[in-house]
């Protein structure tokens, strides 16, 4: 498992729901108010995160061309860029990227029934928490 129970990644509907990768409720049927609010919050958070990645890749162009065959080197480059980015922000050196954000590739990983069930339970708990907080 990639993440603990208190942590997770966010994905769009192109990904499989797992306990560590939360996805929106499918819109096949009618969604209730809680599920719509959850989808809205998930989408808003994903957009924010994608924008941050876009800013990082715009400011630090090396992130577009990392050698993925050396994981250790790639991790060092990414962490260094994040630290430098935060340093720039602390010094009020803001960067505006006018490029369109790139689309993220879909995950074609295996789906396990247990992961789906646990992912649904986690998503439902977060949905209930958001709903209770907004009352």
* Residue 43 near residue 11, CB atoms below 8 Å: no
Q: What gap in Å lies between CA 48 and CA 129, rounded to an integer?
A: 21
Q: What gap in Å lies between CA 71 and CA 61, rounded to an integer?
A: 18
Which range marks the domain in which residue 94 is found? Answer: 9-133
Whether residue 3 is contained in a domain is answered as: no
Whether residue 35 is contained in a domain is answered as: yes
Nearest to 61 by CA among 85, 87, 88: 85
Whether residue 100 is contained in a domain is answered as: yes
Render pLDDT for 33-82 as a digit per residue (tens, 0 to 9): 999 999 999 999 998 888 888 888 888 888 888 877 888 888 898 999 99
Residue 103 has pLDDT above 50, yes or no: no
Q: What gap in Å lies between CA 20 and CA 1, rounded to an integer?
A: 7
Instruction: Give the pLDDT band of residue 113 (cuts 50, 70, 90).
Output: low
Whether residue 45 is contained in a domain is answered as: yes
Q: What gap in Å lies between CA 79 and CA 48, rounded to an integer?
A: 19
110 vs 76, which has greater pLDDT?
A: 76
Whether residue 2 is contained in a domain is answered as: no
Domain count, the chain: 1
Whether residue 4 is contained in a domain is answered as: no
């Amino acid at each position: 498992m990639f993440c603990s129970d208190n942590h997770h990644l966010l994905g769009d509907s192109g990904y499989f729901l797992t306990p560590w990768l939360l996805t929106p409720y499918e819109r096949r049927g009618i969604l209730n108010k809680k599920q719509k609010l959850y989808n809205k919050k998930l989408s808003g958070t994903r957009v924010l995160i994608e924008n941050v990645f876009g800013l990082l890749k715009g400011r630090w162009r090396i992130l577009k061309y990392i050698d993925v065959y050396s994981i250790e080197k790639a991790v060092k480059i990414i962490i260094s860029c994040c630290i430098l980015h935060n340093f720039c922000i602390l010094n009020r050196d803001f960067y505006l990227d006018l490029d369109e954000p790139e689309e993220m590739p879909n995950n074609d990983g295996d789906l396990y029934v247990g992961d789906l069930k646990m992912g649904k339970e986690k998503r439902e708990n977060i949905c209930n928490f958001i709903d209770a907080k907004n009352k």
